[in-house]
Amino acid sequence: MEWKSSTALWRSNWNTAGRLARLGVHSRHGGLQCLQPCLLPHQRSASTGSKILVEMDNSTGIAVLTMKSPPVNSLSLDFLTEFSISLEKLELDRGCRGVILTSVRLDIMEMYGKSPEHCGEFWKAVQEMWLRLYGSSMITIAAINGSSPAGGCLMALACDYRIMAENPKYSIGLNETQLGIVAPFWFKDTLVNTVGNRAAELSLQLGLLYSAPDALRTGLVDLLVPEDKVLSTASQTMTQWLAIPDHARQITKSMMRKPTVDRLLASREPDINNFVSFITKDSIQKSLRVYMERLKQRKP
């Protein structure tokens, strides 16, 4: 990743929340479209490719990962690979203590009409994304500025804290059963760890997509704010987390999450094989096709 500094001059007393709030604007697709920011000398900007913009503020230790995979910021194989590389580099950056992520959703086309080899590569990339995010020593906050079904919900669940926009058009949940597929055990474990066993059972069996208020009541998200306040609130919340000594927080986080991470690490290959065997079945491919056709019919 090549980091670059800007020479643009801004007032030195401009606070962090204000800077972060100006990094993006909401698009009609429900995602976050990044404006070209003017950075202070202590800020660094890097694009690891065409799908993710990484912006690091050295003065705060906060990085913002803005997803740029239009039109709906989908979790494609390329995106997942790029995301894992970006997160790994931030993890190795001693100056980075926290990461704010914007919302994404799973790319169904990565599972439809693809070869077993491609499906295997895709699922390995999904695993890698979750392992790096759920097991990260950094503070991770999800800024949910759009609908986050399936893999997008998983990414949010893998974060330490979730802030969602109050918008009646947005929903979040592990809705895999609606597509005719089954959420793997580590999806289930992550959800159970967040909302409890009974709520997770109902959510997974019914493939529920929750509105923002319902997601808050269920415990799927931690805070609802007006849409134009999501990113700035994430910055303010991050400041509260940064006040905790890193070593104590990191050990506590590892203690809570390591058993869940270890379960997948012990069975990555069997999990990939199970996914490929399941997703390439004719009946499952038919279910995916029917679901995609329904989505097309909903579009104006």
CB 209 within 8 A of CB 171: yes
Query: Of 37, 45, 32, 35, whose CA–CA distance to 5 is shortest?
Result: 45
Q: Quick check: is 176 catalytic? A: yes
Q: Which of 73, 145, 167, 175 is catalytic?
A: 175
Q: Quick check: is 106 catalytic? A: yes
Token representation of residue 298: 């909903």
Packing angle, helices 185-195 and 116-134, rounded to 10: 30
Which helix (H) or strand (E) segment holds residue 21: the answer is helix 16-21
User: In angstroms, rounded to a whole number, what is the distance separating the alpha carbons of residues 29 and 56?
Assistant: 26
Q: ω into residue 71 within 30 of 0, thus cis?
A: yes
Q: Which of 176, 180, 208, 231 is catalytic?
A: 176
Which residue matches tokens 């793997």? 184
Q: Which of 30, 146, 151, 173 is catalytic?
A: 151
Q: Quick check: is 173 catalytic? A: no
Q: Quick check: is 151 catalytic? A: yes
Active site residues: 106, 151, 175-176
